[in-house]
Structure 1
Amino acid sequence: MPTFFDAWHFDGKSAVRRKVEVQTVGNQFYLAELERRHGPFAFADLEYAGEQGDASVYKLGGNDGWRLGLVGNVPTELVPHLPAKKTYGGWIDRLGIGPASAVFAIVSAAVVAVVLFSPQWLAPLIPASVETKIGDALIGDFGGRFCSTPKGKAALAKLTNALDADPRDLQVEVANIDMINAVALPGRKVILFNGLVSQAKSPDEVAGVLAHEIGHVREKHVMQGMLRQMGLAVVLGGFDGNGGSTLNGLLSTTYTRESEREADDHSLKALKSASVSPIATADFFRRLSAMDGSAQMREGKERAMASYTSSHPLSDERRKLFENSVIKGKAYRPILSSDEWTELKTMCAQDRKVKSGWGFDFE
């Protein structure tokens, strides 16, 4: 025996909302409108389309504009014929929001873990030729900012050769940028900024920093960092606002601090092999610690929090590391002569062709 229900309907052909009566006949139904009747339609072809006001809305497969709205509580006798409501879709509705959230959290943690740790074994698999092409594409000649004079380049080469067992694949440059920093970049490239060289008190200070950056190259930190950042950008792309950016930064800096410590260890070993005293590098970090305030920080929570949120170990911690590595009674020697140091330190000032200015931003 047929049953009847009031509803509203869009036929998919016009924008007219029609008041209709639903007439059910077994697994089919008709829509009656005044003296017209539409159908039959199969309940099996209906799909749940969501809520609109106080109505449960259904669409008809194969007809994009077709809609049927049942206002209020769906009649009990009609429920078995209608498709189930889908609040979140697919497997989430089948599991429930609680279990689905747990599954999502576990999968997300696993993906982030893969992104964080896979670069350590993936980076060494990247061919040197590919890394070189990446470096050349990203850096080129650094916008014409690489300084070059014959004696200055010779002093830089002597410095590099003393700090690395086989420096033939390294490209070490001084960039005419007034910034106290140095960076290791793809393609086994190391760039010392002229601000660092000109402010250094001795070539031994520059040696400690250069050996640190070479450590990043030799430990494959550069490609690991690139792969990790690319992976985090993809994985965390779904986070909106500052949340994803903050999380991305915290995850990446955790790795960066580890890399910095490994590079410091490499620097100490290189200085020891070259018979260069680490005290000069310790003095360099002493001056930096006065600038960044780490020398004045109290022990305990304040210092721990600063170290946790910094992308590098605190300058004062690094000062202690190099200071404590001095071997008493060891016969250290300067890595460059006085004349060689002067040529390196004034190379950018002597190079009349080099461009000046920033052009590139590094942290």
Structure 2
Amino acid sequence: MTELRADRPGRFSDGRSAGVRKVVVRVLATGMEIRGIDGFLIAVWKTEDLRADGDWPEMKGVRLRCASEPDARLAVEDAYFIKDALPKVDEPRRRRIGLILGALLGAGVLAGLVLSLPMASRLAASLVPAGMERDWGRNIAAGFESQLRVCEGKAGRQALEGLIARLAEGLPADRRSITLHVIDRPDVNALALPGGDVILFAGLIAKADSPDEIAGVLGHELTHIGRRHVSAAMIRGMGVGVIATLITGDASGLVASGIGAALAGAYSRDDEAEADRGGMDLLERAGIGSDGMITFFRRLEDMEGKPGMLTQWLGTHPEAGARAAAIAALRRPAPHLPSMDESQWRSVKAICSKSPP
């Protein structure tokens, strides 16, 4: 193998023996060598076998695993290392990796800064091409759908998609294309994904008492998408290694390790407050009342103190009571239209049933 770049210090675990050892990593034309600090060759990883790894949270920098040694893990603190380690999988992937690294690093924003400061991560998110954002979202959604049952009630989907279209009219023109995924899980949760995908979990639909409550949750999540909070949260809270997985490979493992909670949990307080206000604005523009949004928050507050009733959405969208009060203070009484009719609501409630309502 031909050497390309200087040695990089790293940490390595073979997944079999206890402990993590210091290593030296050398990038080659067709992969990389991993050596102990004594120079002893530990492993040779081929480029086509490399995968980014999000399951080693105590390690900083670029975290990698190898398809040929699935139990092993490698961490290299130098964030620029990924430019050499991953871009040779194939030319289209190389271009895409180059774009994201240009957005994160080439613009002069240090990786450590990007991953820790909300303003820096928002700047980085603003530099990510829209097509790449959509790829991120689609890869995460595909990971969910590969592992979990998708709810496919046709009438229910049509009702929800119609509601989303009404709400999305209040978003910037280039952010109005929203793809809905309804997943059959009991989580009382909804999740905005980068680029325009939204996941609703069956548990949230089951707990909702009215379509206006669903509309309030969707307005909140669509605001996260419209204002690019999602990509900023990903950059800030999940690391370059996880992002590389979303660009280059299969995201199903990240779903299993809790990518949804990690992403939503990375929102800043300002993001959440802005999404609440923006959600109210989307409801108002669509002619939908905000009472459902307020009611839903208050119901979450009631659930907060009950054992076993803390929902995922509350866990990643905290302080429900205070936020309900803030939203109520913004409410402007005005005539409004129903978010959907009774027939549509029945179809939504039955969207995960195996037979139509």
Interval of TM-score (by shorter of Structure 1 and Structure 2): 0.5 to 0.7
1:81-100 equivalences under 5 Å are none
1:266 aligns with 2:278: yes
Displacement of 1:209 in angstroms is: 0.2
Displacement of 1:176 in angstroms is: 0.8
Taking a change above 3 Å as real, the CA distance of residues 183 and 112 of structure 1, as seen in their structure-2 partners, is same
For 2:303, the equivalent position in structure 1 comes to 291
Taking a change above 3 Å as real, the CA distance of residues 135 and 195 of structure 1, as seen in their structure-2 partners, is same
Displacement of 1:163 in angstroms is: 0.6
1:117-266 equivalences under 5 Å are 117-140=119-142, 142-143=145-146, 145-165=149-169, 169-231=177-239, 255-266=267-278
Contact 1:149 1:347 in 2 (8 A): yes
Query: What is the CA deviation profile of residues 243-267 of structure 1, one whole-angstrom value per residue up to 9, with x for unaligned ones?
Result: xxxxxx9xx9685222111111110
Taking a change above 3 Å as real, the CA distance of residues 327 and 127 of structure 1, as seen in their structure-2 partners, is same
1:349 aligns with 2:338: no
For 1:59, the equivalent position in structure 2 comes to none
Distance 1:279 1:312 in 2: 18
For 1:316, the equivalent position in structure 2 comes to 321
Distance 1:253 1:149 in 2: 30
Secondary structure at the aligned position of 1:324 is classed as: helix
1:276 to 285, 288, 295: 288
Query: What is the CA deviation profile of residues 178-206 of structure 1, one whole-angstrom value per residue up to 9, with x for unaligned ones?
Result: 11110111232111111111111110000
Secondary structure at the aligned position of 2:209 is classed as: coil
- Identity between Structure 1 and Structure 2 (%): 33
Taking a change above 3 Å as real, the CA distance of residues 223 and 254 of structure 1, as seen in their structure-2 partners, is closer
Q: Which amino acid aligns with 1:321?
A: A
Distance 2:267 2:353 in 1: 37
Secondary structure at the aligned position of 1:318 is classed as: helix
Query: What is the CA deviation profile of residues 56-109 of structure 1, one whole-angstrom value per residue up to 9, with x for unaligned ones?
Result: xxxxxxxxxxxxxxxxxxxxxxxxxxxxxxxxxxxxxxxxxxxxxxxxxxxxxx
Taking a change above 3 Å as real, the CA distance of residues 225 and 195 of structure 1, as seen in their structure-2 partners, is same
Displacement of 1:278 in angstroms is: 1.1
Taking a change above 3 Å as real, the CA distance of residues 292 and 340 of structure 1, as seen in their structure-2 partners, is same
Query: What is the CA deviation profile of residues 11-60 of structure 1, one whole-angstrom value per residue up to 9, with x for unaligned ones?
Result: xxxxxxxxxxxxxxxxxxxxxxxxxxxxxxxxxxxxxxxxxxxxxxxxxx
Distance 1:334 1:271 in 2: 11
Contact 2:219 2:283 in 1 (8 A): yes
Q: Which amino acid aligns with 1:334?
A: P
TM-score by length of 1: 0.53
Distance 1:230 1:155 in 2: 33
For 2:340, the equivalent position in structure 1 comes to 336
Displacement of 1:131 in angstroms is: 1.8
Distance 1:254 1:214 in 2: 16
Contact 1:112 1:232 in 2 (8 A): no
How many residues get paired?
A: 213
Displacement of 1:312 in angstroms is: 3.5
Q: Which amino acid aligns with 2:301?
A: S
Query: What is the CA deviation profile of residues 219-240 of structure 1, one whole-angstrom value per residue up to 9, with x for unaligned ones?
Result: 1111111111245999xxxxxx
Displacement of 1:344 in angstroms is: 1.0
Secondary structure at the aligned position of 1:145 is classed as: coil
Taking a change above 3 Å as real, the CA distance of residues 263 and 337 of structure 1, as seen in their structure-2 partners, is same
Distance 2:240 2:270 in 1: 17
1:327 to 308, 332, 337: 332
Query: What is the CA deviation profile of residues 327-359 of structure 1, one whole-angstrom value per residue up to 9, with x for unaligned ones?
Result: 23x21221100001111111111469xxxxxxx
Question: Could you list the runs of 4 or more consecutive aligned residues of structure 1 that deviate by over 6 angstroms after TM superposition?
Answer: none
Secondary structure at the aligned position of 2:180 is classed as: strand
Contact 2:215 2:292 in 1 (8 A): no
For 2:9, the equivalent position in structure 1 comes to none
Secondary structure at the aligned position of 1:159 is classed as: helix
Any stretches of 5+ residues in structure 2 without a counterpart? 1-109, 243-260, 307-314
Contact 1:257 1:313 in 2 (8 A): no
Taking a change above 3 Å as real, the CA distance of residues 126 and 326 of structure 1, as seen in their structure-2 partners, is same
Contact 1:289 1:316 in 2 (8 A): yes
Distance 2:355 2:233 in 1: 33
